[in-house]
Amino acid sequence: MKDFDSSRVHSSWLPILEPHRELIVDILTRISMEDFTPSSHQIFRAFEVPLDSIKCVIVGQDPYPSRGHAHGLSFSTDAAISPLPKSLLNIFKELKSDVGKSIPESGDLSSWLHQGVMLLNRVLTTRVGQANSHSKLGWQQVTDSVARELGKRDVIAILWGKHAQELSHHFKFSIESAHPSPLSSYRGFFGSKPFSKVNEFLISQGKDPIDW
**Active-site residue set:** 62
How much is the CA Rg of the chain, to the nearest whole Å? 16
* d(C-alpha 74, C-alpha 132), whole Å: 14
- How does DSSP assign 20-86, residue by residue? GHHHHHHHHHHHTTS-EES-GGGTTGGGSS-GGG--EEEEESS---STTT--SSTT---TT--SPPH
Strands (E) across 82-199 are located at 117-121, 126-127, 156-160, 174-177
User: How many beta carbons lie within 10 A of that of residue 2, not counting itself?
Assistant: 6
Residue 114's DSSP bridge partners are none
Q: Provide the greatest CA pair distance for the chain.
A: 48
